[in-house]
Amino acid sequence: MLNRMEMIRIFCSAADCSNFREAATRLGVSPQAVTRAIKALEEELGEILFHRNTRQVHITAFGEAYAVRARQKLEDFDALFRGHRADAESAIAGRIGITAPQAIGKRFLVAFLQPLLKQHPQLVLNLRLEDEITDAVEAQIDIGIHVGFLRDSRYVARALAPVPLQVVATPELIAASGAPRDLDELQQRPLSVLIDRKNGRPWPWTFAHGPSLHPPAPAFVCDDPEAELEAVLAGLAYGQLPAYLAQPYLQSGHLQAVLTEQAPDPWQLFIYRPQQGPVPPRVRLVFDHLRACFSDPAQFPQG
């Protein structure tokens, strides 16, 4: 029979993985052993830690909160065996490489990390702002933030928040040109286009049920989401913007949304880190902190 500490250790590993089989591989045990440990811990706590079926495993809200506490207790327990090699403060020290999309990095990431950097002055932040997924090994990335799809088995990934796309313009531009009632009318309005820096091609505007729009004669073209936002705020064009950029201006009335019934399914914001090797305390701390910040609608607008 497993003792409580072993159950906690298996649970923490399962919380970091996409399924129990992956956790079993990392721990060097059978998937059945992981399942038994999770079940025993759930019975011990009287709470469900994972929603699971024959194909998927999803950690519950209680499990997420319990994992944060459990990891700290495991770290405290393991520290008892480290002797005088390092105290708790020195463990939260050193370089941590983070990558994120440009707009998210500039508007949110530094502000989210500022309290941790003040609390742990020996942390050294190395930030790479790129809209595409950065090669974690080559760039020495510990943690990444990504919008879109992330199915790379080399990473431990967690979905944090939906990222709705909204067609917006200033009230003045809408009043001058009339609010479009459908995509045909939208194409008659001045539109912005965002260029994919990776391949130089324009990103299409996407809508519910599959149609996409390639503005034939855009009024504004750039390769930076924040520059596109400024152009839309200046009344130069309509733009299809992510909620984390548009929402504050929608709330203030500087922008208005149109064609809301044709909005596409939201994208997803992910946080990820490389699979290989143990997770240093500094990486664990920052990973959990960013996961909490980006999951909070009060800190990261979600539409």
The model's pLDDT over 118-144, given as tens digits with 9 standing for 90+, comes to 999 899 889 888 876 655 555 578 899
Asked if residue 21 and residue 57 are part of one domain, the reply reads yes
Domain boundary among 49, 79, 109: 79
**What is the per-residue pLDDT for 132?**
66
Domain boundary among 79, 111, 128: 79
Domain boundary among 79, 101, 122: 79
In a domain, 302, yes or no: no
Asked if residue 20 and residue 52 are part of one domain, the reply reads yes
**What is the per-residue pLDDT for 83?**
56
The 8 Å CB, 24+ separation contacts for 45-54 are 49/11, 50/14, 52/20
Domain at 136, CATH number? 3.40.190.10
**What is the per-residue pLDDT for 38?**
92
Asked if residue 278 and residue 145 are part of one domain, the reply reads yes
**pLDDT over threshold 80, residue 233:** yes
How far from the centroid of its chain's Cα atoms is residue 108's Cα? 12
Asked if residue 277 and residue 135 are part of one domain, the reply reads yes
The model's pLDDT over 83-94, given as tens digits with 9 standing for 90+, comes to 544 454 456 888
Mean pLDDT, residues 228-232:
96
Structure tokens at 145: 């933030």
The number of folded domains in the chain is 3
Percent of the chain exceeding pLDDT 70 equals: 90
The model's pLDDT over 172-215, given as tens digits with 9 standing for 90+, comes to 999 998 999 999 999 999 999 999 888 889 999 999 977 788 98
In a domain, 180, yes or no: yes
Asked if residue 207 and residue 73 are part of one domain, the reply reads no
**What is the per-residue pLDDT for 84?**
46
**pLDDT over threshold 80, residue 20:** yes
**pLDDT over threshold 60, residue 68:** yes
In contact, 45 and 27? CB cutoff 8 Å: no
**What is the per-residue pLDDT for 245?**
95
In a domain, 44, yes or no: yes
> Is the full-model pTM beyond 0.85?
no
**What is the per-residue pLDDT for 165?**
94
On the 0-12 / 13-18 / 19+ scale of CB atoms within 10 A, 150 is: middle
Query: pLDDT class for 281, splitting at 50, 70, 90?
Result: confident
In contact, 240 and 232? CB cutoff 8 Å: no
On average, the pLDDT of the chain sits at: 87
Asked if residue 96 and residue 51 are part of one domain, the reply reads no
Mean pLDDT, residues 38-62:
87
The set of residues, in sequence order, having a beta carbon less than 8 Å from that of 5 and lying 6+ positions away, is 74, 77
Mean pLDDT, residues 248-263:
95
**pLDDT over threshold 50, residue 30:** yes
Asked if residue 211 and residue 74 are part of one domain, the reply reads no
Mean pLDDT, residues 82-108:
76
**What is the per-residue pLDDT for 141?**
84
Between CA 234 and CA 256 the distance in angstroms is: 13
DSSP of the chain, one letter per residue?
Answer: ---HHHHHHHHHHHHTSSSHHHHHHHHTS-HHHHHHHHHHHHHHHTS--EEE-SS-EEE-HHHHHHHHHHHHHHHHHHHTTSTTS--HHHHS-EEEEEEE-HHHIIIIIHHHHHHHHHH-TTEEEEEEE-SSPP-TTTTT-SEEEEES----TTEEEEEEEEE-EEEEE-HHHHHHH---SSHHHHTTS-BEEEB-TTTSPBPPEE-TTS-EE--SS-SEEES-HHHHHHHHHTTS-BEEEEHHHHHHHHHHTS-EEE-GGGPPPPEEEEEEEE-SS---HHHHHHHHHHHHHHH-TTTS---
In a domain, 303, yes or no: no
Question: Which domain covers residue 65, as residue numbers?
Answer: 4-79
Mean pLDDT, residues 146-168:
84
Between CA 148 and CA 137 the distance in angstroms is: 21
